[in-house]
Amino acid sequence: MEDDQPAPAADAVNLFGFSPRWWSGPEWKRTNEPAEEPEPSHLNTFNSSGMFHNVSPDKLSVRYVGCGQHGYDVGAVQANCPAPTRRIVYYFEIKVKNAGQHGRIGIGFTPKEYDLRKQPGWDPNSCGYHGDDGYLYHGSGKRYRFGPTFTSGDTVGAGINYAFPQFFFTKNGELVGNVVKDIKGPLFPTIALHSQNEEVTVNFGKQPFLFDIKALELEERQKVRVLIEKEYLTPTVSVQIIRSYLLHYGYQDTLDSFDVESESMHPQVTRENGVEEEGCAYALRHRKILRQLVKNGDIDSVFQKIKEWYPQILQNDTSVISFLLHAQRFIEYLRNQELLEAVGYARAELSRFFPIKSYADLLEETMSLLAYDDPQKSCVGYLLEDSHREYVADAVNAIVLSTNPNMSDPRNYLYSCLEKLLRQLIACFSQRRALNNNEGQELRLPVELEINHGSG
Amino acid sequence: MSLSWIILGQLDSIESMSTSKKVITRDEWERKLKDVKIRKEDMNKLVMNFLVTEGYVEAAEKFRIESGTEPDIDLATMTDRMAVKKAVQSGNVKDAIEKVNDLNPMILDTNPRLYFHLQQQRLIELIRSGKVEEALEFAQEELAPRGEENQSFLEELERTVALLAFEDVKNCPYGELLDVSQRLKTASEVNAAILTSQSHEKDPKLPRLLKMLVWAQNQLDEKAAYPRINDLSTAMIEDPAI
Which positions in chain B touch A251 (Cβ < 8 Å)?
Answer: 62-63, 66-67
A52, A64 in Cβ contact below 8 A? yes
CATH of the domain at A188: 2.60.120.920
Considering the domain architecture, whether residues A133 and A86 belong to the same structural domain is answered as: yes
Alpha carbon A249 to its chain's center: 26
The answer to whether residues A123 and A202 belong to one domain is: yes
| Res. A163: pLDDT tops 70 | yes
Residue A90 lies in a domain: yes
Number of domains in chain A: 2
Kindly indicate the confidence band of residue A160, based on its pLDDT and cuts at 50, 70 and 90: very high
Q: Could you tell me if A289 and A164 lie in one domain? A: no
Query: What are the pLDDT digits (tens) for A304-327?
Result: 999 999 999 999 888 889 999 999
A268-282, A290-304, B138-152: range with lowest mean pLDDT: A268-282
A185 Rama class: left (phi>0) / alpha (psi -120 to 50) / beta: left
Evaluate whether residue A416 is within a structural domain: yes
Which range (A2-6, A24-28, A153-157, A371-375) has the least confidence? A2-6
State which amino acid sits at residue A368. Answer: S
Condensed to tens digits (0 to 9), the pLDDT of residues A213-257 reads: 999 999 999 999 999 999 999 888 999 999 999 999 999 999 999
Q: Among residues A172, A207, A225, which one ends one of the domains?
A: A225
B94/A contact by beta carbon, under 8 A? no
Q: What is the pLDDT of residue A26?
A: 62
Query: In chain B, what residues touch A423 (CB-CB under 8 Å)?
Result: 33, 36, 38
ipTM above 0.95, yes or no: no
Dist CA A89 CA A94 (whole Å): 17
Query: For residues B177 and A274, which has the higher predicted lDDT (pLDDT)?
Result: B177
Q: Chain B residues with CB inside 8 Å of A257's CB?
A: 56, 58-59, 61-62
Regarding whether A366 and A248 lie in a shared domain, the answer is yes
Domain assignment present for A157: yes
> pLDDT tens digit string along B45-67?
999 999 999 889 999 999 999 99
Strand order across the A155-161 sheet:
A53-55, A61-64, A198-203, A89-99, A155-161, A166-171, A174-180
CA–CA min distance B6, chain A (Å): 33
Indicate whether A219 and A269 sit together in one domain: no
**A398 and A368 housed in the same domain:** yes
Torsion sign, CA atoms A296, A332, A377, B39 = negative
**Mutation to test the A interface, candidates B21, B41, B44, B46, most A Cβ within 10 Å:** B46
Q: How confident is the model at residue A24 (pLDDT cuts 50, 70, 90)?
A: low
Check whether residue A205 and residue A88 sit in a common domain: yes
Q: Are strands A166-171 and A89-99 parallel, antiparallel or unpaired?
A: unpaired
Cross-chain CB nearest to A432 (options B36, B46, B220): B220
Question: Which amino acid, one-letter code, is at A266?
Answer: H
Domain coverage including residue A194: 43-225
CA distances from B121 to A105, B116, B139, B154, B180 (A): 67, 9, 11, 14, 11
Same domain, A134 and A24: no
In the structure, what pLDDT confidence band is assigned to residue B16 with cuts at 50, 70 and 90?
Answer: very low
Q: Is residue A410 included in any domain, yes or no?
A: yes
CB under 8 Å to A341, separation ≥6 — which residues? A333
Task: Using a pLDDT cut of 90, give the percent of chain A over it.
Answer: 59
* Nearest CB to A435; choose among B205, B211, B224: B224
- For residue A171, tell me if it sits in a domain: yes
Residue type at A13?
V
Residue A190 bridge partners (DSSP) = A78, A108
Inform me whether the C-beta atom of residue A41 falls under 8 Å from chain B C-beta atoms.
Answer: no
Residue B38 has pLDDT above 60, yes or no: yes
| Dist CA B63 CA B238 (whole Å) | 32
Q: Which strands form A188-193's sheet, in the order they lie side by side?
A: A75-78, A188-193, A106-110, A127-130, A135-137, A143-145
Instruction: Tell me which of A182, A207, A225 is where a domain ends.
Output: A225
* Dihedral (Cα; B106, B111, B115, B118), 10-degree rounding: -100
Please tell me whether residues A324 and A370 are part of one structural domain: yes
Does residue A178 surpass a pLDDT of 80? Answer: yes
What is the distance in angstroms between the Cα of B225 and the nearest Cα belonging to chain A?
11
**The one-letter amino acid at A142:** K
Answer yes or no: do A262 and A369 share one domain: yes
**B234: closest chain A residue by CA:** A276
DSSP A34: P
CB pairs under 8 A between A and B: 191
The reply to whether A370 falls in a domain is yes
The CATH number of whichever domain residue A290 belongs to comes to 1.25.40
Q: How confident is the model over B134-192, as pLDDT tens digits?
A: 988 998 898 888 888 888 888 888 888 888 888 777 778 888 888 888 898 899 899 99
Residue (of A112, A218, A240) closest to A161 by Cα position: A218
Query: Is A231 in contact with B211 (Cβ distance < 8 A)?
Result: yes
